Amino acid sequence: MVNSVDLNIGTMCNNNCRFCVVDHSRNPTHDCFEDIEKELEAFREKGVESVAFLGGEATIRRDIIEMISLAKKLGYAKIRIVSNGRMYCYPDFLEKIIKAGVNRFSVSIHAHNASLGDYLSRSKGSFTQTTTGIKNICKMGFSLDTNTVINKLNYKHLPEIVLFLNNLGVNNMHFSVINPMGNAMTNFDEMVPTLTEISPYIKKSLKICDKNNIYLTIDSLPFCILPECNRYKSELYDILTHVSFSKGNERDRFYWQERKKNKLKTKPKKCCSCRYFGVCEGIWKGYAKKFGFKEILPINGVEIHNLDQMKRIQGQGLKDI
Ligand code: SF4
């Protein structure tokens, strides 16, 4: 049974990040409450116990407390908000959503200082609000994980970002290789570094994490890039997750892992000879379109058939976060 659902509740956001997968020049949306209510009920009936509210920015909806309360009433055990964290700078708001039922926090943060953070988000003051929000979550005794989208302006600062976040009280971090869609595609030249460029900084960051007992995973870096760091690749720890997304007048439902592998990412023919072929998602299509596949170099060896086998080889277990 698939135990979690990512519920996208609209694309409206109080940031307009230069690397966002959403195209902010299109009309932003707030999905209607009744649709979300139906989805919450339907997934709960299937036995799903974990829900994450995603945007856009979920916390700017006026009915977010109502949605969280409904999830709690329906019996979801884990209720997560994926957010840019700006609204958490208001302790009253944070207290309200915790009281309503939120017990997991995922915060997106992409810089280690205000000038870079605000430039990336195109929203003055957003970095200070996000960092205050993170501090408030920690102060209230909740743990959180962060997501940092690796882009052309922050990749050389990844080690500093790790240290900065750790100082704020964060021990659980994710780096995501930028997906050139939406704003990120529009701003491709300014935002998208090559996998080769980012690799040494990822490696340096992982060393810092190992030393300081910080849990860091890397999302969407194929197994042939930095293969010595494969045990940190997030695909190993992905749990099959439903996604519910508004599509016109209906909701589109799919599994995130399948959507990534079959629609959003791609692999060249030469991958057939790679030992990771069966478990690898490949690279983002938008990246391949612009940069091609020259960095992709198949790795010889005994074929790996599934992620469980890969996890055993890497000696890592799943972490419940
Ligand atoms: S299958 Fe292709 S993209 Fe994936 S690790 Fe192997 S060579 Fe790299």
For 264, which DSSP code? I
Q: Is 178 in the pocket of ligand 1 (CB under 6 A)?
A: no
CB atoms within 10 A of CB 308: 12
Cβ of 224 below 6 Å from ligand 1: yes
The minimum-distance atom of ligand 1 relative to the CA of 298 is 7
Reply yes or no on whether the pLDDT at 288 is more than 50: yes
CB-ligand 1 contact for 222 (6 Å cutoff): yes
Q: Looking at the predicted structure, is the pLDDT value of residue 305 above 90?
A: no
Give yes or no for residue 298 CB within 6 A of ligand 1: yes
109-121 pLDDT per residue, tens: 999 999 999 999 9
Looking at residue 215, the DSSP 8-state letter turns out to be E
**Neighbouring residues of 89: CB distance < 8 A, sequence distance ≥ 6:** 128, 129, 130, 132, 133, 136
44-98 confidence digits (pLDDT tens) = 999 999 999 998 999 999 999 999 999 999 999 999 999 999 999 999 999 999 9
Q: Which two tokens stand for residue 225?
A: 């890039």
Determine phi and psi for 180, rounding to 5 degrees: -70, 85
Distance 312 CA to ligand 1 centre (A): 19
Pairing of strands 283-284, 265-266: antiparallel
DSSP 28: P
Give the length of the chain: 321
Report the pLDDT value the prediction gives residue 42, as an integer from 0 to 100.
96
Average pLDDT value for the chain: 94
Which residue, judged by its Cα, is nearest atom 2 of ligand 1?
Answer: 271
**What is each CA distance from 19 to 127, 238, 240, in whole angstroms?**
15, 23, 26
> Among residues 171, 164, 167, 172, which one has the least CA distance to residue 113?
164
Which numbered atom of ligand 1 lies nearest the CA of 268?
Answer: 2
Residue 268 Cα, ligand 1 centroid: separation in angstroms? 8
Instruction: Answer yes or no: is the C-beta of 296 below 6 A from any ligand 1 atom.
Output: yes
Task: Give the Å distance between the CA of 5 and the centre of ligand 1.
Answer: 28
Please give the pLDDT value at position 162.
98
In the chain, the largest separation of any two C-alpha atoms, in whole Å, equals 56
**CA–CA–CA angle 27, 31, 37 (5° rounding):** 180
- Taking CA atoms only, the protein residue closest to ligand 1 atom 7 is 298
Query: Would you state the pLDDT for residue 52?
Result: 98
Ligand 1 near 280 CB (within 6 A): yes
Exposure b/e, 191-212, CB count within 10 A at least 16 = b: bbbebeebbebbeebbebbeee
pLDDT digits (tens, 9 = 90+) for 128-151: 999 999 999 999 999 899 999 999
Rg (CA), the chain: 19
Does residue 316 surpass a pLDDT of 60?
no
Residue 86 contacts residue 125 (beta carbons within 8 Å): no
> How far is it, in rounded angstroms, from Cα 166 to Cα 173?
9
Residue 271 CB–ligand 1 contact under 6 Å: yes
- The domain covering 4-264 belongs, at the CATH homologous superfamily level, to Aldolase class I (3.20.20.70)
Give me the residue label for tokens 């009280």. 169
The Cα–Cα gap between 261 and 232 comes to 19
Residue 104 CA to ligand 1 center (angstroms) comes to: 33
| pTM confidence score | 0.94
**pLDDT digit string, tens, across residues 210-264:** 999 999 999 999 999 999 999 999 998 888 899 999 887 789 999 999 999 999 9
Structure-model confidence comparison of residues 29 and 14, the more confident one = 14
Model pLDDT, residue 84: 98
pLDDT category, 124, cuts 50, 70, 90? very high
Q: What percent of the chain has pLDDT over 70?
A: 98
Token code pair at residue 180: 């050139």
Residue 32 to residue 10: CA distance in whole angstroms: 9
The beta strand positions in 92-208, using DSSP E, are 104-108, 144-150, 172-177
Domain boundaries along the sequence of the chain: 4-264
pLDDT of residue 321: 30
C-beta separation of 314 from 231 below 8 A:
yes
> What CA–CA distance (Å, rounded) separates 166 from 160?
10
The CB-based long-range contact list for 308-313 (8 Å cut-off, 24+ gap) reads: 310/230, 310/236, 310/276, 310/279, 311/236
Q: Using a 6 Å cutoff on CB, does residue 276 contact ligand 1?
A: yes
Whole-number Å distance, alpha carbon 3 to ligand 1 midpoint, is 29
Instruction: Kindly state if the Cβ of 256 falls inside 6 Å of ligand 1.
Output: no
> Using a 6 Å cutoff on CB, does residue 277 contact ligand 1?
yes
